[in-house]
Structure 1
């Protein structure tokens, strides 16, 4: 099913954060949204998930008009459209396994979730999600004791527990070092390719968008100013998205690079146990 935004706008106290955005995203695409801070990227994702309501326009997923959902139907959509945040949004004092199981919150009663009354099948599913992300050994640790990269992978595992149809990631690697950024982005691409889940992710680094996303949407001042494949992201297009420096020169993409040296890239592609030992010294 296609996901569509038609003339979607959001205003905050008279200021337009997202301005008449129209996009059609086929099922299974991995889309990177780029742009300066304040370009409207996060607001756009929050409207898709309905954490923020659009001021105008229509959001549609297949035959469902997402922008009109309320109550139970809205909660169901927010489960189908999982959100991963830059700040992880875990409960630090709870163990990792419980944090992952909370991904079932919108699919069962709140009381049973808060009391920890999860089924055996749900616990097995949560452990499998942690194993997939290479952090199953942290299951009984308090989430707050993990590194930033590990916490973001816990957040991805929690999102998988929602069994989503779409995955939104709001600057998922902004606070991570290059090694952990690669591990997280590899995980998102793996989910997209193996499950065929649509992934829309806001990114602050151009090389990451080029390397991982089949489609890139560039935003400036709340509007879409570019929508195309990575190889169409020319220097002129980058200047239209980001503007120029004080001296009038174009943006130096190397300043935002998350590229790894060859040795670190090899470590990032190692087995989970090797990855964890390399991160333990980080």
Structure 2
């Protein structure tokens, strides 16, 4: 169980996330929606401790994550893998090495930097790539892949951490519809087959309804809806956000598409 207790983050006079309290059972796939500036990215970055909370606590299976330092915090970040909108791959390295870098949390950094990975780790990385139909690209440079392929490599790298939770911050925002579907299917597969808790930030309501067990809607840093997808009707969107569903989408960031 992951619990957020009154989680708040301020940047100067601006409150990006305000007193968010949630309980997320293990193995749930959760979509966090909201228009630009709603606080979605800040919320995920606090869960991973990439951004420090101003107030409140994060508790995982009874452990106070907000109190963790040093090795304990490093262990939490291994358990709680992060997927970013812009993939965050090392573009000049081959795909296999990028995936193997997911082992950084479990071995001395210097040996990983010199590519001193074991045969078992290499076999595991290849098997993970094969799950996402990328084994044939293992020796290609990361920058030769499409955006959808790079995001699947990022998911494979995250799996090498052996996480219990996967946080995905706008993982399809810069992808075309076809690649967005492939990436969401990959996240759903990880949730279903590996039993991982997946928390994914999304702009599009239809995507959240299709893939997620639960939808959390944010506005101005606060949770304004928390429930099953079927309850997030067009009428409820209007009640919560004061706009029609198509207007909600128009208010979302729309970065340039990447194939």
Greater RCO, 1 or 2 (C-alpha within 8 Å, sep 6+): 2
Q: Alpha carbon RMSD of aligned pairs, Å?
A: 1.3
Match of 1:119 in 2: 118
Structure 2 alignment gaps of length 5 or more: 251-258
Structure 1 alignment gaps of length 5 or more: 245-249, 257-281
Q: Deviations over 1:13-33 (max 9, x none)?
A: 121000000000000000000
TM-score, length of structure 1 as denominator length: 0.87
Give the Cα–Cα distance (whole angstroms) in 2 for the partners of residues 20 and 115 of structure 1.
44
Give the Cα–Cα distance (whole angstroms) in 1 for the partners of residues 11 and 242 of structure 2.
24
Match of 1:267 in 2: none
For residue 252 of structure 1, report the CA deviation from its aligned partner: 1.6
Give the Cα–Cα distance (whole angstroms) in 2 for the partners of residues 233 and 255 of structure 1.
14
Q: Deviations over 1:129-168 (max 9, x none)?
A: 1000011111001101111000000000000100101000
SS at match of 2:209: helix
Match of 1:65 in 2: 64
Give the Cα–Cα distance (whole angstroms) in 2 for the partners of residues 88 and 164 of structure 1.
18
TM-score, length of structure 2 as denominator length: 0.94
Match of 2:254 in 1: none
Q: Say which one has the larger Rg.
A: 1
Match of 1:264 in 2: none
Match of 2:162 in 1: 163
8 Å CA contact 1:36, 1:241 repeated in 2: no
Match of 2:48 in 1: 49
Match of 1:130 in 2: 129
Q: How does 1:146-185 map to 2 (within 5 A)?
A: 146-185=145-184
Asked if 1:40 corresponds to 2:39, the answer is yes
Q: How does 1:1-282 map to 2 (within 5 A)?
A: 2-244=1-243, 250-252=244-246
8 Å CA contact 1:27, 1:198 repeated in 2: yes
For residue 63 of structure 1, report the CA deviation from its aligned partner: 1.7
8 Å CA contact 1:173, 1:184 repeated in 2: yes
For residue 234 of structure 1, report the CA deviation from its aligned partner: 1.9
8 Å CA contact 1:35, 1:241 repeated in 2: no
